[in-house]
Amino acid sequence: MRNLPVELAQKILVQTAVDADSLKQVGLVSRFYAALVFAQVRFAHAHVVHQMDLLCLDRADDGAPAASTALTSNWAALPISYKTVLVSMHCTLRIILDPAPSAATLSAAESLTVVHEIHTYFDFLHFNETAPALFLILCEMGHADAVLYLMQAANTNAENARLSESAVEDPQADTGKSEVPYRLDYSAGLGLCSEQGHTSLVEQLLKQPDVDPTQNESYCLRMASENGHEQVVALLVQDARADANAVDNAAIRFAARSGHARIVQILLRDTRCDARALNSYALVWASRKGHCDTVRVLINANSVNVSADDDAAFRAACEYGHVHVAQFLLQTGAVDPSADMDYAIKWACRNGHEQVVRLLLGDPRVDPTADFNYPIRWAAEKGNMPVIKLLAHDSRISFQALPVAVRWASRAQQTHIVNYLVDTFGLYDLLE
């Protein structure tokens, strides 16, 4: 095979499977074939197209392409020329390859090489079709050099098209040029970079005059806030175009829910941000999730209504067992621990949060007998022994409540609760 003419050798080589092992064997035959297989995008393109035809990767009746794993098996070990072709086809032909080559783990250096090879090898029209999708993929991956290459190419193409258009005196004249500049969706790219925390790219994209940080209801700021990308959030709120109060101030609510206290601080500096939105739901989320630092930031900044929605934040902290949050909220003096028919102690007992129950029992405003002794009944049914011990020895719990607790525990087959209450309080007649 080493002595075959190049054209004939190529016709033979395209019959081999597109996988790393087969290509490696071909490369071992000779240095010439190694260079052909591993370096030339032209041959890789012909090879992949031929294999696609053999695999019948035609579009289905509904217009969706067929799926195949054959072309991307052992993706990481494929030569960069083949990665270039497969990524290009994934972006332009909507070929569904599993795993999708665009989502594979290309290194930043490989991404730059792929972009350069696509720009160099393929014709202008093909590159124009590839660039927009490839741009978004690279934004999500955070490969800054490759993204900037595409942006520069887009600017160059736009300038060339402008000069070409101005040089045509006759509007009907055929200049032989079909080079229409492609458009990159900078706003969508900004959203992806913000979501993934690619700070340097966010900074570059914000410099583009046609980027819109408010696209998709300020998706970029909302996702950066939720995912904890502090530097990205700082860049976005410094931009007058960003909208910190979009979707009922979702950015600060998401940041509070995820416990990103420093991001909450950054957002609060923006006068457009209102942490009181939706009955101070940012505080409710932070309390429910147990993010005490975030709760402190919100309250110390005097940015929320601590008792909003019938003390929803305090009730959430107790229900989900976050004693430090509940304690801090109590110390503000702005909450009523008995709000909503003693919701806090009922749900703390039901969910077995011993430390929260202990905290609540220490407040005279709390009624552990609320709702016909709901706390001890549900603690018994759920088998929460530490809570049962706290309640059973509280002076406010009447002796008449204990037999009820025994029956609820018995019904739920919580034998240890039944035995404890019967033995401790002499309720043996209930066993007869």
Contacts of 213 (CB under 8 A, 6+ apart): 187, 190, 206, 220, 221, 236, 239, 241, 242, 243
What count of other Cβ atoms lies within 10 Å of the Cβ of residue 282?
A: 33
**What's residue 175's pLDDT?**
47
Instruction: Tell the residue number behind the tokens 């022994």, with chain if given.
Output: 385
Q: How far is CA 126 from CA 85, 158, 180, 182, 189, in A?
A: 12, 16, 12, 11, 21
- Mean of the per-residue pLDDT values of the chain: 86
Is pLDDT at 249 greater than 50 in this prediction?
yes
Quick one: 340-432 is in which CATH superfamily?
Ankyrin repeat-containing domain (1.25.40.20)
Q: CB–CB of 318/295 below 8 Å? A: no
pLDDT at res. 65 = 47
The one-letter amino acid at 51: Q
- As a three-state string, the secondary structure of the chain is CCCCCHHHHHHHHCCCCCCHHHHHHHHHHCHHHHHHHHHCHHHHHHHHHHHHHHCCCCECCCCCECEECHHHCCHHHCCHHHHHHHHHHHHHCCCEECCCHHHCCCCHHHHHHHHHHHHHHCCHHHHHHHHHHHHHHHHHHCCHHHHHHHHHHHHHHHHHHHHHHHHCCCCCCCCCCCCCCCCCCHHHHHHHHHHHCCHHHHHHHHCCCCCCCCHHHHHHHHHHHHHCCHHHHHHHHHCCCCCCCHHHHHHHHHHHHHCCHHHHHHHHCCCCCCCCHHHHHHHHHHHHHCCHHHHHHHHHCCCCCCCHHHHHHHHHHHHCCCHHHHHHHHHCCCCCCCHHHHHHHHHHHHCCCHHHHHHHHCCCCCCCCHHHHHHHHHHHHHCCHHHHHHHHCCCCCCCCHHHHHHHHHHHCCCHHHHHHHHHHHCCHHHHC
Q: To the nearest whole percent, how much of the chain has pLDDT over 70? A: 80
Mean pLDDT, residues 178-200 taken together: 88
Alpha-carbon distance of 53 to 334, in angstroms, equals 72
| pLDDT tens profile 138-159 | 999 999 999 999 999 887 766 6
Least trusted range by pLDDT, from 167-181, 229-243, 338-352: 167-181
pLDDT digit string, tens, across residues 190-237: 999 999 999 999 999 999 989 999 999 999 999 999 999 999 999 999
Using an 8 Å Cβ cutoff, are 361 and 333 in contact? no
Digit-coded pLDDT (tens) for 91-118: 876 555 555 555 457 899 999 999 999 9
pLDDT the model gives residue 250: 97
What is the pLDDT confidence band of residue 127, given thresholds at 50, 70 and 90? confident
Per mean pLDDT, which range of 151-155, 231-235, 273-277, 310-314 is the poorest?
A: 151-155
Residues in the chain: 432
Q: Which of the listed ranges 55-59, 115-119, 309-313 does the model predict with the highest average pLDDT?
A: 309-313
**pLDDT on residue 64:** 44
- Give every CB contact of residue 184 below 8 A, 6+ residues apart in sequence: 131, 132, 135, 150, 151, 154
Query: Can you give the residue ranges of every domain in the chain?
Result: 244-335, 340-432
Q: Identical fold at 244-335 and 340-432?
A: yes
Under the phi-then-psi rule, with left for phi > 0, alpha for psi from -120 to 50, and beta for the rest, what region is 413?
left
What's the one-letter identity of residue 329? L
Q: Give the whole-number percent of the chain exceeding pLDDT 90.
A: 62
Report whether pLDDT(423) > 80.
Answer: yes
CATH superfamily of 244-335: Ankyrin repeat-containing domain (1.25.40.20)
One-letter amino acid for residue 367 of the chain: D
